[in-house]
Amino acid sequence: MLMIRHSIGSRLLCQTTNYTIEKQDDCWRISLSVDKETALTVLNFQDELNIFEAREKEKTWYYSSDAKVSFKPEEKLLVILADNKTVYPIQ
């Protein structure tokens, strides 16, 4: 599951199981299908995002230092380029 949260107050902006994360050079390309309203909400807070991927035995935190977030409305695709990643074990 992928969760996008506002870093101030931890407000949940989006939660989905329909996403991909791909290593791309020195960053991670996170792509997910969203409606326009969700995309605009995420874009409004693009400088203050925390992205979490929750798996059975670990949680991964991604974030972008330079707010590289884009929305492709014709594809309904939100793309975030994250340059930081931290993995935490879940007990």
The pTM (predicted TM-score) of the whole model is 0.92
What percent of the chain clears pLDDT 70, i.e. is strictly above it?
100
Residue range 22-34: mean pLDDT, rounded: 96
pLDDT for the residue 32: 98
Higher model confidence: residue 10 or residue 30?
30
Tens digits of residue pLDDT in 42-74: 999 999 999 999 999 999 999 888 889 999 999
Cβ-contact 3, 14 below 8 angstroms:
yes
Can you tell me the mean pLDDT for 30-46?
97
Return the percentage of the chain with pLDDT > 90, whole number: 87
pLDDT reading at 4 higher than 90: yes
Asked if 64 and 83 touch (Cβ cutoff 8 Å), the reply is yes
Give the pLDDT confidence score for residue 71 in this predicted structure: 98
